Amino acid sequence: MSDRIPDQLRAAATAWHLKLATASEEDWLAFTDWLEADPAHNRAYEDVLAAEDEVDAALAVAAFPEPVVIDDVEEPAELPVSGAGWKWGALAASLVAAVALTFQLLPRDDRYAIETSAGETRTVALADGGEIALNGDTRIILDRGDPRFAELRSGEARFEIVHDASHPFVVTVGEDRLVDIGTVFNVALDDARLRVGVSEGSVRYEAAGAEVELRPGDVLTADGSGAKVARQSAASIGSWADGALVYEAAPLVDVAADLTRATGSSFTVSDALQARRFSGVIQTTGDAESVGTRAADVLGVSVARNRDGWIFNP
């Protein structure tokens, strides 16, 4: 099967590449949507980048002929056609040789970011049939050169991975690594606190030389003081992607963080509720005020607007 990129698609990729030089935030979001719409779009864009690298490298090493200066001649001098053809033919050959030599030597960072704003969700389709669902206020890094890699910089994402024992999918969070062993799992990062829950299959958590294998229903929490594993219903893990937050004995601070991502409005918990835990379901459809009111009823607390957003009180 041919890998030739259609001219129309190459033209679209080139147009995006030129536009990104002065792109606004809206342009970058539109570009990300275009990349995600079809794997062929990403291949076309990579091809445009590769072609630009080839040309830049070739121009850097090419030796152009010095201009011919002719004194005391009023009319432009005409060079013999055969001589000019030979010189430019040699230049073209040198360009081709330079491209062939430098194409594989020039490093290029193939990593790129995908982000969502608070209250926004997005799903990224992976080339092998898997997908990554991004919750609100999330930033992940993907790698065009390694489709089995992702880095979570902030926020929350649910990974549905097609297992490949010869090339496991790896998610990095700071210095920690999560290695897929055939699974669906959810990862959340709030400040320096990491939460990893497994819905299907298993994940190997690696940090500071230690390894922990997580199975369905396992939820690992890690921060500066260490890591611990608790149990909850596997069906509740990553439930935010279906428009509902399902909890089993979850701290209210975690509930507030989840509501903040889901609505785009800040939710916090008063000091008096820091130690309280919650089991139940909170629907996240509607605006921030309706979600907050609904959550307060389910939690058995009150909710009030403050300068930054909303706060839960006893």
Q: pLDDT by residue (tens digit) across 168-202?
A: 999 999 999 999 987 899 999 988 889 999 999 99
Domain containing residue 196: 111-235
* CATH code of the domain in which 266 resides: 3.55.50.30
Backbone angles phi, psi at 291, to 5 degrees: -65, -40
Same domain, 13 and 125: no
Q: Is residue 2 part of a domain?
A: no
Same domain, 231 and 260: no
For residue 18, the surrounding DSSP H or E stretch is: helix 7-19
Same domain, 88 and 37: yes
* pLDDT for the residue numbered 85: 45
Number of domains in the chain: 3
Q: How confident is the model at residue 47 (pLDDT cuts 50, 70, 90)?
A: confident
Amino acid at 59: L
* pLDDT for the residue numbered 222: 92
CA 260/CA 263 separation, integer angstroms: 6
Q: pLDDT by residue (tens digit) across 97-149?
A: 444 444 444 445 688 999 999 889 999 998 888 999 999 999 999 998 898 99
Last residue of a domain, one of 219, 235, 251: 235
In this prediction, residues 54-58 reach a mean pLDDT of 53
Q: How far is CA 103 from CA 7, 17, 129, 187, 286, in A?
A: 22, 19, 30, 37, 52
Same domain, 206 and 140: yes
SS3 state at 100: helix
Last residue of a domain, one of 78, 102, 126: 102
Q: Is residue 286 part of a domain?
A: yes
Q: pLDDT by residue (tens digit) across 141-167?
A: 999 889 899 999 999 999 999 988 889
For residue 261, the surrounding DSSP H or E stretch is: helix 252-263
Same domain, 91 and 151: no
Last residue of a domain, one of 235, 253, 281: 235
Does the structure show a pLDDT above 70 at 61? Answer: no
Most confident of 16-30, 34-48, 180-194: 180-194
Same domain, 142 and 221: yes
Q: Is residue 304 part of a domain?
A: yes
Q: How many CA atoms lie within 13 A of 168 on its CB side?
A: 16
Q: pLDDT by residue (tens digit) across 222-233?
A: 987 888 999 988
Burial category of 202 from C-beta neighbours within 10 Å (exposed 0-12, middle 13-18, buried 19 and up): middle
Pick the residue with more confidence: 28 or 308?
Answer: 308
